[in-house]
Amino acid sequence: MVQRRIPKIKDLAPLMQFKAPELNAKKRRLESALTIYDLRAIAKRRTPKAAFDYTEGAAEAEISLARARQAFEDIEFHPAILRDVSTVSTGWDVLGAPVALPFGIAPTGFTRMMQTEGEIAGAHAAAKAGIPFSLSTMGTTAIEDVKAANPHGRNWFQLYMWKDRDRSMALVDRAAKAGFDTLLVTVDVPVAGARLRDKRNGFSIPPQLTLGTVVNALPRPEWWINFLTTEPLAFASLDRWSGTVGELLDTMFDPTVTFEDLAWIKAQWPGKVVVKGVQNVADAARLAEMGVDAIILSNHGGRQLDRAPIPFHLLPEVAREVGNDLEVHLDTGIMSGADIVAAVALGARFTLVGRAYLYGLMAGGEAGVDRAVQILAEQITRTMRLLGVTSLEELEPGHVTQLSRLSRIARPEGVPATRP
């Protein structure tokens, strides 16, 4: 028989530790977010549908994005035990300079549309975290203003080559004069992908106040108040546009850009050159021969060619082929620090996060971006400790197995597996 008694006050006291309520609503909701998916849920509640869907969406049936995220879930870690992991270092050199974490903020377009603090919030957060911030050609903050927001940190400029070459290179010149240290040349956008969410939402720049947007805005007054009472959207590249995003991209992007054009761009830039949007080993090898400083394995977050190659699946083969010649970076599908650790283990020197950063921005402005970075950093550190490693240098392919959900029946003719 269990002996029972009336509890004594001294026994109850340790159990009755009530936490003081957090009165700051923003701080309270951000502290409740324990994962990037939690920030996503908050962002969706607080952001009008068209703006949220622009961030969330991908091309056509959105298969590329779903596969990229699934690829990170379909891994198996192999930890070592009985290692002293009391101290862990999460930084190393990337493109010749130190970073505190093996990820940076990816270039994102129309960022102030997501939340009015936009790129300035991202640049401030990157400066505090000791990581690079990337400004998109389609960014909504001037090059010089981003530099002012992150004067001592690492600023990277992402270039889309337009049909108007002089205008494109004028932006490159501005970035160089402002002290940006790295140029990201995006090469996977000869034309815009079919972003069906934007078409269905009638997403335009600037957003149109239709009956639907007004109804959608009613439960999200803070977003609209911020949008209507701050400076009108200004772009790094253009002043105004009255059509959809896809129409804007199709009028601007140059489908004639070749490797020869890339070599010409490289010759104009005084700093590091990184090519973003590489999706096969042969192109990676050719870029290594050209002498670029790094490549980014990326399918543009699934926003261009649907059913494109999965960057994380390409990573081991590309790293083996060209990893001694240039740095291999990676984006698309990253939603946790464990994803980043797995990428580093399989050969990535660096990773970029786009949606994860924007979810934080939409959830709480600069404080939300800080929270996104904090979540990823904590997950990286914890994953490394549980794997039994104390530095990024100790991560190796043996720590990760990529499990197979999709397997290729046969390699198609004309798609080389290795360097030609």
The mean pLDDT of 74-87, rounded to a whole number, is 96
Q: Strand 182-186 to strand 400-402: parallel, antiparallel, or no bridges (unpaired)?
A: unpaired
Percent of the chain at pLDDT > 90 equals: 68
389-419, pLDDT tens digit by residue?
999 999 999 999 999 877 776 655 665 555 4
Of the candidates 179, 55, 149, the residue with the CA atom closest to the CA atom of residue 108: 55
* 15 pLDDT tier (thresholds 50, 70, 90): confident
What does the pLDDT read at residue 407?
75
The mean pLDDT of 98-120, rounded to a whole number, is 95
Measure Cα distances from 69 to 36, 110, 112, 313, 343 in Å: 13, 23, 25, 11, 13
Select the more confidently predicted residue: 207 or 221: 221
78 is catalytic: no
Residue 247 lies in a domain: yes
Residue 44 lies in a domain: yes
- Range of lowest pLDDT (3-12, 115-124, 137-146, 257-266): 3-12
The mean pLDDT of 114-127, rounded to a whole number, is 96
- In this predicted structure, the answer to whether residue 1 has a pLDDT above a threshold of 60 is yes
What predicted TM-score, i.e. pTM, was given to this entire model? 0.91
233-265, pLDDT tens digit by residue?
766 665 555 555 666 666 677 888 899 999 999
371-388, pLDDT tens digit by residue?
999 999 999 999 999 999
Residue 342 lies in a domain: yes
* 22 pLDDT tier (thresholds 50, 70, 90): confident
Residue 407 lies in a domain: no
What does the pLDDT read at residue 214?
65
Q: What is the CA radius of gyration of the chain?
A: 23
Residue 69 lies in a domain: yes
Domains of the chain: total: 1
Residue 14 lies in a domain: no
The mean pLDDT of 198-216, rounded to a whole number, is 70
The mean pLDDT of 92-103, rounded to a whole number, is 98
Percent of the chain at pLDDT > 70 equals: 90
Catalytic residue among 300, 313, 329, 399: 300
Measure Cα distances from 306 to 1, 52, 65, 186, 222 in Å: 66, 20, 8, 17, 34
- Range of lowest pLDDT (19-33, 38-52, 148-162): 19-33
- In this predicted structure, the answer to whether residue 316 has a pLDDT above a threshold of 80 is yes
* 24 pLDDT tier (thresholds 50, 70, 90): confident
Provide the CATH number for the domain around residue 42.
3.20.20.70
* 420 pLDDT tier (thresholds 50, 70, 90): very low
- Range of lowest pLDDT (158-162, 208-212, 397-401): 208-212
Q: Share the mean pLDDT of the chain.
A: 89
Residue 94 lies in a domain: yes
What does the pLDDT read at residue 21?
78
What does the pLDDT read at residue 265?
92
C-alpha–C-alpha distance, residues 205 and 178, integer Å: 27
Residue 276 lies in a domain: yes
- In this predicted structure, the answer to whether residue 26 has a pLDDT above a threshold of 60 is yes
28-75, pLDDT tens digit by residue?
999 999 999 999 999 999 999 888 999 999 999 999 999 999 999 999
Measure Cα distances from 232 to 226, 240, 305 in Å: 11, 10, 32
| Residue 356 belongs to domain spanning | 27-402
Q: Decide if 368 contacts 345 (C-beta within 8 A).
A: no
- Range of lowest pLDDT (49-58, 93-102, 305-314): 49-58
- Range of lowest pLDDT (160-169, 294-303, 330-339, 410-419): 410-419
